[in-house]
Structure 1
Amino acid sequence: MLGPALLLAVALVSLLAALEFGGAAAAPALADPGALVRYGLPISKLFVNIGAAGTIGALVLVSFALSRDKPEFDRALDFAAGSAAFWTVASAATGFFTFLNVYLEPLSFDARFGELLGAFFTEVDFGQAWLATTLIAAVTTVLCFAVRGRTLLLFVTVFAIAGLVPMAQQGHAAGAAGHDAAISSLGLHLVFAAIWLGGLLTIVAIRSKIDPDRLGTIVGRYSSFALVSFIVVAVSGYVNASLRVGSLDGLLRPYGILVVVKVVALIALGLFGAVQRRFLIGRMLRDGATRGRAFWWLISAEFAFMGIASGVAAALARTDPLVPQVLVTTTPAYILTGEPLPPEATPLRYLTEWRFDVIWVLAVAFLAFFYLAGVWRLHKRGDTWPIHRTILWLAGLALLFYVTNGGLNVYEKYLFSAHMLAHMILGMMIPVLLVPAAPATLALRAIAKRADGSRGPREWIMIAVHSRIAGLLANPIIAAVIFAGSLWLFYYSPLFSWATTDHIGHQWMLVHFLITGYLFVQSLIGVDPVPYRAPYPLRLVLLLGTMAFHAFFGLSLMTGTGLLLADWYGAMGRPWGVSALADQQTAGGIAWSVGEIPTIILAIVVAVMWSRSDTKEAKRLDRKAARDGDVDLTDYNQMLEKLSHR
């Protein structure tokens, strides 16, 4: 375990040095919590990051890289359980140190201290966040011991990643101007840094249980995750730094210099990863040279630089940023959203105004890259892929990029009509472009099948396609009920308020609209394999029913006199545009009219598919009749003749 020990030692030294350099370790003139808290809080946060990384990295490898039939699998789960237990204790300690830092209470064992501590963990946002993190880590510890089924372990992995969400909502990002961008970038940073660091820790921890001939394969799979993680960490780190440093001059100040140190460590890690992918993995796969010193020296160097990056990152969380992170509450819109009110919405500004969301920028980029990579792999081996599917996929992604980063993303917080237009495009127009592109079919053809008992992307897609849940969701009736029913449930329940006022809720809303729309369109015109295909008449009936449902919903908004979410859209204080109620009625018109355009397109496509299906069936029967002398018709006529004699 020399590598993890090296990581921890370098991280602690880097943390202490960065705290001194950035001034975070100095006692403040007022409200000093004491040296124990000043040093204990960042150290415990560092331990939280390392524990979470070990848990998540191990679970990701278990789900996507390791074989269930090998000793490596159980050893990795044991490492995940131990890391989760470490994460639990570190999270509880961090919550306790945060309480001491906020309340400035001397440690005691009297009733008042206990009451204050209980109120902190149940009523204060910081306390609730650390309590949630601690509980998620504790439950993950138990699940890593109790669960051995690979499908369930995938859900355990997702659950463990959810433990990073409360952490992403804390720190400088919690009160920052540009709050949404800060939360998105910090969340991505935490998740993919955990996968990157934790995966390497896991490989070193289980190396004695890995067959030498398999180490190259496992490292190669980890390297693919590390490459994606490097890109995401670099991009999200840049967004975070730009929000907090502000300008190039800020890089010459203590906070900026620490950011530069972290960036240099990240670049070094990227170079190590390039050497690993370019030279060492190929050597391992070719001649099994995994016992050589070069590989383990490289791993040790990676741990050293990861320790530097981890220690400096923990110190940055305690160091005052250069850009003031306090909201300037000068307007109602700023108080509500944390962003300045954009200029008056005009058709031109819907095309020229942009507010980029790093989550969706990266999501669209990766979806485009992997699709094109799949097409290229088919082309290299001589297979064909229809060009119109690639065009549809890229067009759908371009539209998704605009909705999540363009003018609609700028104005949907302030105008219900912009929100509704984004909803209609996400739920109906984008799926109409993405579904015929058949991404699952492309993945199944392009991704190599594994033969070592592990589950890669292809195996997980096959499991998902043939699962009972997929069979249920592929039923057009179920898909239509979810698609249309969620429309009413969303807008006439507290979900609407959560998705509008909270950044996490907003991200959930985007994913929900996109998935429900995709499932509905897939059940109607999908090309990808599904367990059940409904007859065409049923598809048309459901489509027409959904169209009527949309029209009725839009009409209810157009004629309604009560304002939905009045304490948000009605309290923006916009000096431009129509009133909030008039804008809501416009949104109803959008739901009625714009939402029907994709529905009409779908109806035409279903009718064409039905016609072609009948034509194909007729040709098949004609060929059969030519082969067997139309025996079916002869048998039918003989049956009728027997009946007539009776």
Structure 2
Amino acid sequence: MTVREAPPATDTDHNPRVGVGGLLALLAGSGALLAVLGVWMSGAAVPGFLRDPGAVVRWGLPVVTTLTELAGSLTLGALVLAIGVLPRRAAAAVGTATSRPARGGVSPVVGDGYARSLVLAGVSAAVWTVLSMVHLVLTYASVSGRPPDSATFGEELGVFVTQIDLGRTLILVTTLAAVVTALALLVATPTGAAWTAVLVVVALWQQAQTGHAAGSASHDLATTSMFVHLVGAAVWIGALAALAVLLSRLGADLGPAVARYSVIAGWCFAAVAVSGLVNAVVRVGGMDGMASRYGVLVIVKAVLFGALGLLGLWHRRRVIPALAGVDTRGAGARLFWRLVAVELAVMGAVSGVAAALGSTSPPVPDEPIGNPTPAEIVTGHALPPEPTPLRWLTEWRWDLMFAFAAVAGIVVYLAWVRRLRKRGDTWPMSRTLMWVAGLVIFFWTTSGGPAMYGHVLFSAHMVQHMILAMVIPILLALAAPVTLALRALPSRSVSLRGDASRGPREWILVLVHSRLGQFFANPIVAAVNFAGSMIVFYYTNAFEWALTSSVGHIVMVVHFSLAGYLFANGLIGVDPGPKRPPYPQRILVLFGTMAFHAFFGVTLLNGESLLVADYFGLLGREWGPSAIADQQKGGGVAWGIGELPTLALAVGVAVSWARDDERVARRRDRKVDRDGDVEMDEYNAMLARMSDRDGAAPH
């Protein structure tokens, strides 16, 4: 079989080359124009009184910033298309595709857009690298007030990228962009694209560190909200732009690709909306700040964002049904192009206003805290009031990423349950309640009292740790989220369309059945990881890293939550995983872990050496116990509170063991009723043969 070539384009067909060039020019031009207009309106291009880097720097930096962000967005968007959006031919189908409908009347996969998406990612990453270098030079010229053609500019730039935090961050982003360029041109699978996209996300995290409020008391919230904002906007803008660029290669894959992208765009819209609201609250500071130039730019961006949301809603309801069953030629493609052109124009405008915001001083001073207290010097935050039972519930230290993840997890789980019920399947209400309770507790643990006091009290930190590692995972394991996902999510069947792309269901199966996933999910390995990682964490520099770095804190929360889930799932869970050991061995593993955990708590309870003394010993607390007494109290928390979930696990294993025995007994009874007691008959026959041999033996 051979691939049928597409018929030659007619006068009524859309010219994809003109469309791609015009679309990219519209995207870049609208962003650059809005950046210039925003700078003009904000007055950021007015020459400085002391040092003026020149008009090229003042006007060029916002434009280059916009183009750099758009290039990074296109890189990430093209990688997202390869990870789970574009249809991909199975290996056996490569070179054998045909235009004849596959089984069930479904058109076969074209698959040409998938490979091109990785090439597009590599090319856009190369552009991103060059623009990042230019952005680095202009940024230093702007902050130093020196034009790039000054005699000592190169030497000073070297000091900037090696000794100044902002310079090191910008050079790291440039380096990551260069690495992404090489990897995107080398990888060929969704897994490779996913690992490459991780590097882009790391670069966006570094970029989030350079925003406003870096020295204020809201630094952590501003950084996490900016990160969520950057990732959401980059995927949203970049994936749509990449679809437009690859349109001529999609053919009959156009409808499925747009439908899959639309789901991602909906989540990106929510992420950008929430993070943008949080950023505005942090930077504007109140209603008085809305009257400033910065506040006006925030309002303009909000209006454009609202228009974009309406376009996205119209896109979902009108365009996707119109694209079903059509290829990249004809009225459906032209409708797609018109919608994309308008939507990307508004996206470029939003990016331009965002760049202008980055060049404008917000109403809240972006300066280090004046006359900081010891707690503010050490933690970057004011010391909270003395904890009381009520304050554990009313004090909040928001973590936008984990809060958004918790809410999204509840929404997705309930949507999956609703999908099962709509098709007539059932799902236990107890599992749904377990999941909702687990994520509500996770929300409170990462943004409520444990998060507020966990930064200044070791005992409170241990409460947070025990809940994350031992309470929440039990609830989530009993909720069986993987089982629900595999039942609710549609499969991209190779047998129906030749589609070897990976949707959410396929990615879950890849993770569950991967060697790495099987290894860490093994109950023995999970127990060693669960117990041993606590020793490694608290008695190495990892604990200090988690206290003093937002990245370290994120790693801590993710690691102990995941380690606890794998441990609980290996003992009492119903989700797919490695072969679980027999119940007696599970009990032994559990009690061995319990003993190790008790030893860890007793060690802290009797310890006289303060962990991370340069942190907990210098907070200047005037309330509560001393630092060493509080650490010993934390040991009691680890020993006492930590044992209760372990006992609950033991009860769960015992109940599962009893139910398993009951199932085995019922299964045997049904077999006896159906076939007779074959095993007992064979045993009696064996005894009879032995008796006959004994009777026949000579005496």
- TM-score for the superposition, normalised by structure 1: 0.96
Task: Name the structure 1 match of 2:353.
Answer: 312
Instruction: Say yes or no: does 1:382 pair with 2:421.
Output: no
Distance 2:501 2:542 in 1: 39
Q: One-letter code of the match for 1:250?
A: G
Contact in 2 for aligned 1:483/1:517 (Cα 8 Å): yes
Q: Which residue of 1 aligns with 2:277?
A: 238
Give the CA deviation at 1:87: 1.1
What are the Cα deviations for residues 225-279 of structure 1, in whole angstroms up to 9, with x where unaligned? 1111111101101111111111223222211111111111111110000001111
Give the C-alpha shift of residue 293 in structure 1: 4.1
Q: 1:461 to 1:384 in 2, by over 3 A?
A: same
User: Paired residue for 1:510, among 549, 557, 562?
Assistant: 557
User: Hey, what does 1:449 align to over in structure 2?
Assistant: 491
Structure 2 residue corresponding to 1:43, chosen from 63, 83, 104: 63
Name the amino acid aligned to 2:310.
Answer: L
Give the Cα separation in 1 of the matches to 2:530 and 2:331: 52
Q: Does 1:129 align with 2:169?
A: yes
Q: Deviation at 1:388?
A: 0.4
The 8 Å contact of residues 483 and 520 in structure 1, kept in 2 or not, is answered as yes
Matched residue, 2:310: 271
CA positional deviation for 1:109: 9.3
Q: Amino acid of the residue matched to residue 446 of structure 2?
A: T
- Determine the structure 1 residue equivalent to 2:37: 17
Question: In the TM superposition, what are the counterparts of 1:93-492 in structure 2 within 5 Å?
Answer: 93-107=134-148, 114-211=154-251, 213-285=252-324, 290-291=331-332, 293-326=334-367, 327-451=369-493, 452-492=499-539
Structure 2 residue 648 is the aligned partner of structure 1 residue 577: no
Superposed, 1:35-114 pairs within 5 Å as 35-69=55-89, 70-107=111-148, 114=154
Residue identity opposite 2:624 in structure 1: G
Q: Secondary structure at the match of 2:128?
A: helix
Counterpart of 2:467 in structure 1: which amino acid? I
Q: What CA deviation, in whole Å up to 9, does each residue of 1:174-200 have, x standing for no partner? A: 223301100010000100100000011
Equivalent position SS for 1:210: helix
The CA deviation string for residues 328-360 of structure 1, in whole angstroms up to 9 with x for no partner, is 333111222222221111112111212222212
CA 109–243 in structure 1, closer or farther in 2 if over 3 Å, else same: closer
Aligned counterparts of 1:9 and 1:109: Cα–Cα separation in 2: 30
SS of 2:455's partner is coil
Q: SS at 2:53's partner residue? A: coil
Query: How much does 1:637 deviate?
Result: 4.1
Residue 83 of structure 2 contacts residue 502 of structure 2 at CA under 8 Å; is this kept in 1? yes
Residue 475 of structure 1 deviates from its aligned partner by: 1.3
Give the number of aligned pairs.
Answer: 644
The residue aligned with 2:12 is none
Deviation of 1:538 after TM superposition, in Å, equals: 1.3
> Quick one: which amino acid aligns to residue 231 of structure 2?
V
C-alpha separation in 1, matches of 2:446 and 2:620: 24
In the alignment, the residues of structure 2 paired with residue 639 and residue 471 of structure 1 have an alpha-carbon distance, to the nearest angstrom, of 43
Q: Is the 8 A contact 2:470 2:642 kept in 1?
A: yes
Q: What is the distance in 1 between the residues matched to 2:630 and 2:59?
A: 52
CA shift at 1:295, angstroms? Answer: 3.2
Question: Which residue type is aligned with residue 469 of structure 1?
Answer: L
Cα RMSD after superposing both structures: 1.8
- Are residues 1:627 and 2:674 paired? yes
Report what 1:559 is aligned to: 606
- Unpaired segments of 5 or more residues in structure 1? none
Residues 32 and 67 of structure 2 are in contact (CA less than 8 Å); yes or no, is this contact kept in structure 1? no
Instruction: State the distance in 1 between where 2:155 and 2:688 align.
Output: 94
Q: Deviations over 1:396-427 (max 9, x none)?
A: 11111110111111111111111110000000
Residues in 1 aligned to 2:378 and 2:331: alpha-carbon distance in whole angstroms: 57
Secondary structure of the corresponding residue to residue 291 of structure 1: helix
Deviations 1:455-504 (A, max 9, x none): 11011111222211222122111001111111011111111111101112
- Structure 1 residues 481-531: Cα deviation after superposition (integer angstroms, max 9, x where no partner): 111111011111111111101112112211111111111111111111113
Query: What's 1:597 paired with?
Result: 644
* CA apart distance, 1:106: 5.0
Give yes or no for contact 1:55–1:79 (8 Å, CA) kept in 2: yes
The whole-number CA distance in structure 1 between the counterparts of 2:147 and 2:339 is 46
Give the letter aligned to residue 129 of structure 1: T
Check 1:169–1:643 CA distance in 2 against 1; reply closer, same or farther (3 A cut): farther
CA distance in 2, matches of 1:106, 1:593: 63
Deviation larger for 93-102 or 462-471: 93-102
Match of 2:48 in 1: 28
Cα distance between partner residues in 1 of 2:657 and 2:333: 62
**Which stretch of the first structure deviates more once superposed, 361-370 or 171-180?**
171-180
Residue 591 of structure 1 aligns with an amino acid whose one-letter code is: A
Which string of whole-angstrom CA distances, capped at 9 and with x for unpartnered residues, describes residues 193-236 of structure 1?
0000001110110000011x331221111111111111110110
State how far apart, in whole Å, the 2-side matches of 1:633 and 1:154 are. 57
**Once the 2 structures are TM-superposed, how far is the Cα of residue 42 of structure 1 from its aligned partner?**
2.2
Query: d(CA) in 2 for partners of 1:349 and 1:437?
Result: 30
What's the offset of the Cα at 1:152?
A: 2.2
Contact 1:349 1:407 in 2 (8 A): yes
Q: CA deviation at 1:292?
A: 5.7
Distance 1:132 1:643 in 2: 81
The 1-side partners of 2:576 and 2:683 are apart by: 35
Q: How far does residue 78 in structure 1 lie from its aligned partner after superposition?
A: 1.1
Moved more, 300-309 or 631-640: 631-640
Which protein shows a greater Rg? Answer: 2
Q: How far apart in 2 are the matches of 1:640 and 1:533?
A: 36
Go from structure 1 to structure 2 and tell me whether the alpha carbon gap of 1:353 and 1:287 turns closer, same or farther (over 3 Å shift): same
CA distance in 2, matches of 1:554, 1:570: 21
Q: Look up the match of 1:3.
A: 23
Decide whether the 8 Å contact of 2:87 with 2:257 is kept in 1: no
Whether contact under 8 Å (1:284, 1:290) holds in the other structure is no
What is the percent sequence identity of the aligned residues? 49
* Distance (whole Å) between structure 2 residues aligned to residue 550 and residue 71 of structure 1: 54
Matched-pair contact (CA < 8 Å) for 1:192–1:233: yes
Most deviating of 619-628 and 553-562: 619-628
Compare 587-596 and 285-294 and name the one that shifted more: 285-294
